[in-house]
Amino acid sequence: MALAALVFQALVATIFVNATFDRGIASPNAPLRPNFRLQSSEGSIIDSHLLRGRPYLLFFGFANCPAICPTTLMETQALLREAGAATHTFPIYFVSVDPARDTPEALRDFVRGFGDNVLGLTGSDEDIAAAAKSVRVYFSKSKNASVDSLDHSALVYLVSSGGEVVSTFSVDEPKASALYKIRTLSVFGRL
């Protein structure tokens, strides 16, 4: 009976992992693994390899972002609260794609209003580019000369305790879909 239960759990976990990969973002054959070693807004060094053991969320943006970044962080916090107690404290790592302006102090001021579980991360241009590349994040300086801004993808990455991106969501997708992904990470993200 115990063996049957373990086989069933393994089957459900396999189905979850295969079903929650966003095709085109990640593939079961080549899972994305965040790879970074960046300075936090609190002054410590955060290494993605040392984050294994607990699920977390990852979002790339910048502190001077006029709408997308603050909206995404606020909506993500609301989704975590609605998803339930097990998800409410998932860490959210906000990686700045604008390290020239986003010093640890600037990031600390920016993330302060979004909750204690949000931590800003920054580093050199090369460190940020490598971190973004590890999960296929797009960003570039805005082509509009009158605006000092950055274009960037606006996906929130859901990372399992094993260090793999298992899904993504955006604030543009239906709320029920994002909630499902967060709750599923809570249940099966410890794989």
Q: What is the pLDDT of residue 65?
A: 85
Stated pTM of the model: 0.80
Per-residue pLDDT tens, the chain, 191 aa: give them. Answer: 544 443 344 343 444 444 444 434 444 556 899 999 999 999 999 999 999 999 999 999 999 888 889 999 999 999 999 998 788 889 999 999 999 899 999 999 999 999 999 999 999 999 999 999 998 887 667 655 444 666 667 899 999 999 999 999 998 999 999 999 999 998 876 54
Q: What is the pLDDT of residue 17?
A: 44
Q: What is the pLDDT of residue 1?
A: 55
Q: Identify the helix (H) or strand (E) that includes residue 124.
A: none
Cα(167)–Cα(36) distance, integer angstroms: 19
Q: What is the pLDDT of residue 143?
A: 58
CB atoms within 10 A of CB 143: 8
Q: Identify the helix (H) or strand (E) that includes residue 157.
A: strand 156-159
What lies within 8 Å, CB to CB, of 109 at 6+ separation is: 63
Cα(189)–Cα(191) distance, integer angstroms: 5
Q: What is the pLDDT of residue 2?
A: 46
CB atoms within 10 A of CB 7: 10
In this structure, the strands spanning 156-159 and 139-141 are unpaired
Q: Identify the helix (H) or strand (E) that includes residue 75.
A: helix 68-83
Q: Name the CATH architecture for the domain at 2-188.
A: 3-Layer(aba) Sandwich (3.40)
Half-sphere exposure of 147 (CA within 13 A, CB side): 11
Show the CA angle centred on residue 101, arms to residues 95 and 107, nearest 5°.
45
Distance in Å from the first CA to the final CA of the chain: 22
Quickly tell me which residue has 């053991």 as its tokens.
53
